[in-house]
């Protein structure tokens, strides 16, 4: 296990479309090492999600770790709370109505931005064993997953800002915008 350096906005790896992993690759020692490194890196930097391109690995894999109590994963999603591994995720929007959350990103440090995204989605993905699952997510979890999976297509949350007056440094966000 190793803590990896997180790529910051401007690094080309964050703008590439990441490639799909095969089931054979998913079950390989290389990918399990990558997942361990991502877990360790996420814990070191702090945060609730990390996508492989953020540690310079352009593959379709993301981790989400939401503090227990704040969000519940639905049953049958193959997720051992609070940490979940999503490989080759595919999103389908179930409710186009949008919700706004203030987002942050380890690759865009010290900033927060208010982003509107669809409320409810369905995600098909493979877990760390290569097993397929379907998950319906709404509310905060829906936003978190869309943010992480955007990284796999080279998209950052700032690309989705509609109102740049709702982009702030963390300190100013806490002072002027946080409830
Ligand atoms: Ni991010």
pLDDT, tens digit (0-9, with 9 covering 90-100), for 12-46? 999 999 999 999 999 999 999 999 999 999 999 99
Strand, helix or coil for residue 111: strand
CB atoms inside a 10 Å sphere around CB 41: 21
CA–CA distance from 167 to each of 54, 58, 86, 100 (Å)? 21, 27, 28, 13
Distance 158 CA to ligand 1 centre (A): 10
Strand, helix or coil for residue 24: helix
pLDDT of residue 89: 98
Distance 13 CA to ligand 1 centre (A): 13
Average pLDDT over the chain, rounded to whole? Answer: 94
d(CA 102, CA 79): 25
The average pLDDT across 132-155 equals 96
Length of the chain: 179
- Is the pTM higher than 0.85? The answer reads yes
Asked if pLDDT for residue 105 goes beyond 90, the answer is yes
Give the DSSP letter of residue 80: B
Q: Where are the beta strands (DSSP E) in the chain?
A: 49-51, 61-65, 83-105, 108-126, 132-138, 167-169
Distance 123 CA to ligand 1 centre (A): 18
Distance 26 CA to ligand 1 centre (A): 22
Which sequence positions are flagged as catalytic? 148
Distance 179 CA to ligand 1 centre (A): 22
Name the CA dihedral angle for 86, 69, 98, 111, rounded to a multiple of 10 degrees.
-80
Asked if pLDDT for residue 131 goes beyond 70, the answer is yes
pLDDT grade for 72, boundaries at 50, 70 and 90: confident
């Amino acid at each position: 296990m190793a803590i990896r350096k997180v790529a910051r906005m401007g690094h080309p790896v964050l703008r590439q479309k990441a490639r799909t992993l095969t089931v054979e690759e998913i079950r390989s020692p290389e990918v399990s090492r990558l997942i361990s490194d991502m877990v360790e890196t996420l814990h070191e930097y702090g945060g609730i999600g990390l996508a492989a391109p953020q540690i310079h690995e352009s593959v379709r894999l993301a981790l989400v770790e939401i503090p227990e109590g704040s969000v519940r994963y639905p049953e049958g999603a193959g997720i051992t709370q609070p940490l979940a591994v999503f490989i080759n995720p595919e999103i389908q929007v179930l409710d186009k109505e949008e919700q706004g959350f203030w987002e942050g990103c380890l690759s865009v440090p010290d900033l927060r931005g208010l982003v509107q995204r669809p409320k409810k989605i369905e995600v098909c993905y493979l877990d760390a064993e290569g097993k397929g699952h379907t998950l319906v997510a709404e509310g905060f979890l829906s936003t978190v997953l869309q943010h992480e999976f955007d990284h796999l297509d080279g998209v950052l949350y700032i690309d989705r800002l509609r109102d740049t007056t709702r982009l702030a440094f963390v300190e100013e966000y806490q002072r002027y915008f946080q409830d």
